[in-house]
Amino acid sequence: MSETISARVAELGHALPDPSTPAANYVPWVRSGNLVFISGQVPLKDGQCAYVGRVGEELDVETGRKAAQLCALNVLAHLAAAVEDDLSRVVRCVRLGGFVNAAPGFGQQPVVVNGASDLMVEVFGDKGKHSRAAVGVSSLPRNAAVEVDAVFEVL
């Protein structure tokens, strides 16, 4: 593995987005003890929400999966800030929460959220294997297709 999170992500053909700055009285991440809690991320790219609408209606499942991956890249951008981009300080991904903008009856949240889960394992190997909850929600900020929050254990 590479020594930095951003280089590891680049090796996989992705780029870390610029970490977003919340326009409100909260912060992208908080460290408490060895846990880093990362705020819910929508699929921002260059400051725009790149995937808008309901998965299973306006967007197909594969597109939802890509949205979840982009959420996860935003999660990693904030994690990198929390550990000074030092890959060796990431003990493991503890938990992902995946919220999918989805209509009643939609049941493929797991496939969608795999876009985030797979990226964690690609980046961190076994340390990327996490617990998770995946649910369908009625709406999301900016009408985003997916939102992902996370907890990591770090050094």
Q: How far is the CB of 54 from its own copies (least distance, A)?
A: 7
* 36 vs 60: CA distance, rounded Å: 32
> Which three-class secondary structure state does DSSP give residue 39?
strand
Q: How far is the CB of 52 from its own copies (least distance, A)?
A: 9
- Which CB, 50 or 121, lies closer to its own copies? 121
- Which CB, 38 or 67, lies closer to its own copies? 38
Q: How far is the CB of 68 from its own copies (least distance, A)?
A: 12
- Which CB, 87 or 96, lies closer to its own copies? 96
Residues that bind its own copies (CB under 8 A): 23-30, 32-35, 37-40, 54, 91-92, 94-97, 99-100, 102-110, 114, 117-118, 120-121, 128-144, 147, 149, 151, 153
Q: Which of 31, 71, 41 is nearest to 154 (CA)?
A: 31
Q: What are the backbone angles phi and psi of residue 36, rounded to the nearest 5°?
A: -110, 120
* 68 vs 119: CA distance, rounded Å: 9
> Which three-class secondary structure state does DSSP give residue 103?
coil
- Which CB, 3 or 77, lies closer to its own copies? 77
* CA angle 108–71–91, rounded 5-degree value: 100
